[in-house]
Amino acid sequence: MNELTFCAPCLFGLEGLVGDELRRLGLENVRVEDRRVFFTGGFAEMARANLSARMAERVMIHLAGFEARSFEELFQGVRAIALEDFIPKDGAFPVKGYSLSSQLHSVPDCQAIVKKAACERLGSKYGLSWLPETGEQYQLRFSIMKDHVDVFLDTSGVSLHKRGYRREANLAPLHETMAAAMVNLARYRGREFFWDPFCGSGTICIEAALIALNRAPGLNRSFAAERWSCVDRSVWQTARTEALDREFHGEYRILGTDIDPAALEIARQNARKAGVGDRIEFRAADAVRERFPAESGLIVCNPPYGERMLEQQSARQLIARFGAHMRGADGWKTYIISSEPEFEHDFGRPAAKKRKLYNGRLQCNVYMYF
């Protein structure tokens, strides 16, 4: 297989962090765009990125890029892609996509055209008038932006933020990719005391432990391309062995506290499932009364936010009390993600630095206090 171009989409605001991470993983020609990062390589690099990228949402092969203002141009552009290099006779190839600021704006119509062109291409290559699609899944994705079409083949399957450790609970948990991004922004590498005083289901502490251990976040899950006939199974085995060889084993001090015992039970279960149950202490505490667990360290957290008026008021009061409690804790660097526009006013101090991020559709800032 010749060199491929890959695309790793990510949450808005994380592009630079994802680009740096992919470079650290030894991936080449890393190029950052809005909400996605490109790199080049072969299947070995594809497997490494899937297993080890902490902040990207998926890894996709970039199959083609072309201009299209009509369905005919879209059809011909897709028809020209050598899909048979990847998709076998019985492969299933559903199509998903989106369109922004383009003449081809009807996504269902574009989806149908891409599907039709892919059927024609594969049908003519395999000499079949009807493709059974009974085999493994090869998810095709397209994006159309300002009349430019990109076509991708998704190698990840389930989104990479799903590491396989989290029991879904109704706790407003932070995406694992976003939690990893916050730990990265705080430059935590396992040295300082690490504390999340609003830990909920434990996502930030678990991502911090995985980072401290340099453990690949995807070791406990599978990926769509593991089941593809065009990718040798040894590629995945090698990537897993390499990832295990890169792990560190040290002593880490990671603490998660929360006022809700039920959330803490879920956090403990999640941490055990992630293989870091013995690396994190979880205990009940009120964040605005708890004594600081050390002279200095890092606090990384996402305190409650309110969607309804009353909840919003009590969330803001809690931030004010937390801000007052934090005064005098000079040895602690604090990183707080919040969607509250008046956060700095409520916390009682302007942040030393801010970073705008999108947690899904919700615009947030990470407020940094050093």
Q: Is 200 in the site for ligand SAM (CB under 6 A)?
A: yes
Q: Is 112 in the site for ligand SAM (CB under 6 A)?
A: no
Q: Is 365 in the site for ligand SAM (CB under 6 A)?
A: no
Residues in contact with 14: Cβ distance below 8 Å, sequence separation at least 6, in sequence order: 55, 177, 178, 181, 357
Q: How far is the CB of 331 from ligand SAM (least distance, A)?
A: 21
Residue type, 130: W
Q: Could you tell me the maximum CA-CA distance found in the chain, to the nearest angstrom?
A: 75
3-state DSSP assignment of residue 195? strand
Which of 72, 265 has the CB closer to ligand SAM? 265
Q: Residues 252, 209: contact at Cβ < 8 Å?
A: yes
> Stretches 100-108, 148-156, 171-179, 356-364: which one binds ligand SAM (CB under 6 A)?
171-179
Q: Is 319 in the site for ligand SAM (CB under 6 A)?
A: no
- The closest alpha carbon to 288, from 315, 307, 262, belongs to 315
Q: Is 85 in the site for ligand SAM (CB under 6 A)?
A: no
> Stretches 275-283, 284-292, 342-350, 362-370: which one binds ligand SAM (CB under 6 A)?
284-292
Q: Is 271 in the site for ligand SAM (CB under 6 A)?
A: no
Q: Is 192 in the site for ligand SAM (CB under 6 A)?
A: no
Q: Is 302 in the site for ligand SAM (CB under 6 A)?
A: yes
Among 72, 247, 286, 342, binds ligand SAM (CB under 6 A): 286
Torsion of Cα atoms, 172 then 177 then 179 then 182, to 10°: -140
d(CA 225, CA 43): 9
Query: How many residues contact ligand SAM, by CB under 6 A?
Result: 21
Which of 9, 256 has the CB closer to ligand SAM? 256
> Stretches 94-102, 149-157, 241-249, 301-309: which one binds ligand SAM (CB under 6 A)?
301-309
Q: Is 320 in the site for ligand SAM (CB under 6 A)?
A: no
Q: Residues 132, 85: contact at Cβ < 8 Å?
A: no
Q: Is 217 in the site for ligand SAM (CB under 6 A)?
A: no
Q: Is 263 in the site for ligand SAM (CB under 6 A)?
A: yes
Which of 155, 203 has the CB closer to ligand SAM? 203
Q: Is 198 in the site for ligand SAM (CB under 6 A)?
A: yes
Q: How far is the CB of 304 from ligand SAM (least distance, A)?
A: 4
> Stretches 1-9, 25-33, 282-290, 356-364: which one binds ligand SAM (CB under 6 A)?
282-290
d(CA 337, CA 213): 24
Which of 62, 283 has the CB closer to ligand SAM? 283
Structure tokens at 344: 């700095």
Which of 198, 252 has the CB closer to ligand SAM? 198
Among 50, 143, 203, 365, binds ligand SAM (CB under 6 A): 203
Q: Is 201 in the site for ligand SAM (CB under 6 A)?
A: yes
- The closest alpha carbon to 156, from 93, 82, 222, belongs to 222
Q: Is 258 in the site for ligand SAM (CB under 6 A)?
A: yes
Q: Is 180 in the site for ligand SAM (CB under 6 A)?
A: no
Element containing residue 179 per DSSP (H, E): helix 176-185
Q: Residues 301, 259: contact at Cβ < 8 Å?
A: no
3-state DSSP assignment of residue 224? helix
Among 171, 230, 320, 368, binds ligand SAM (CB under 6 A): 171
Give 288-292's long-range contacts (Cβ < 8 A, gap of 24+): 288/318, 288/321, 288/322, 288/324, 288/325, 289/325, 290/197, 290/257, 292/329, 292/332
Residues in contact with 173: Cβ distance below 8 Å, sequence separation at least 6, in sequence order: 166, 200, 201, 203
d(CA 181, CA 183): 5
Which residues are at the interface with ligand SAM (CB under 6 A)?
171-174, 197-198, 200-201, 203-204, 258-260, 263, 286-288, 302-304, 318
